[in-house]
């Protein structure tokens, strides 16, 4: 991956130029991704339009009259990672097995994916990490889990189970 020095020719690139270079790299990356998707988009759009036209033709035939053009679009739900409650049960089990020793979010998420046979093509690793991190954060808010990192951080998060006095004596 090229550094700012490759672009500017300077040993130390000013922060304002470094920001501009990074911003352009992000936008260029988004544009490249959209161009790669562009080839499949026309067919996907035609399929969605045909399905929408079919629904628009059927809705007026129902006994309850609804104008299809007033129905607003919404985003589809993301695929479920596992059955309801499975993530929380898994998190608490893993943290209990660690016996108070902090475990990284990444470690827990990948163990969860392996144990529940999650296809990381359908549910990306980033999405899985986000779900695990949010659930651990919610458990920390409830006082069940202890956070060992700053709330606002980009570093690896680590977590442990809040243990009562009786549990900590057995460890």
Domain locations in the chain? Answer: 4-38, 41-70, 86-170
Phi, psi (rounded to 5 degrees) for 137: -65, -40
Specify the CATH number of the domain 86-170: 1.10.10.10
pLDDT by residue (tens digit) across 111-159? 999 999 888 777 888 889 999 999 999 999 999 999 988 887 777 888 9
Say what the pTM is: 0.55
- Sign for the CA dihedral angle at 3, 5, 6, 7 comes to positive
Q: Which two tokens stand for residue 97?
A: 């097995």
How would you classify residue 169: left for phi > 0, otherwise alpha for psi between -120 and 50, otherwise beta? alpha
| pLDDT reported for residue 137 | 92
pLDDT by residue (tens digit) across 38-67? 888 888 889 989 999 999 998 888 888 888
């Amino acid at each position: 991956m090229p550094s700012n020095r490759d672009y500017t020719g300077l040993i130390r690139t000013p922060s304002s130029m470094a920001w501009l270079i990074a911003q352009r790299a992000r936008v260029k990356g988004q544009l490249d991704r959209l161009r790669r998707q562009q080839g499949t988009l026309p067919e996907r759009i035609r399929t969605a339009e045909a399905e929408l036209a079919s629904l628009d033709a059927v809705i007026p035939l129902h006994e309850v009259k609804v104008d299809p053009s007033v129905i607003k679009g919404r985003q589809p739900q993301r695929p479920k990672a596992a059955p309801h409650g499975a993530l929380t049960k898994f998190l608490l089990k893993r943290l209990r097995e660690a016996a108070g020793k902090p475990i990284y979010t990444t470690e827990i998420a990948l163990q969860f994916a392996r144990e529940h046979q999650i296809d990381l093509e359908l549910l990306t690793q980033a999405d899985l990490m986000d779900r695990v991190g949010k659930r651990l954060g919610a458990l920390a808010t409830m006082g069940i889990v202890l956070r060992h990192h700053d709330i606002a951080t980009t570093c690896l998060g680590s977590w442990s189970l809040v243990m009562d006095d009786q549990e900590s004596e057995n460890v």
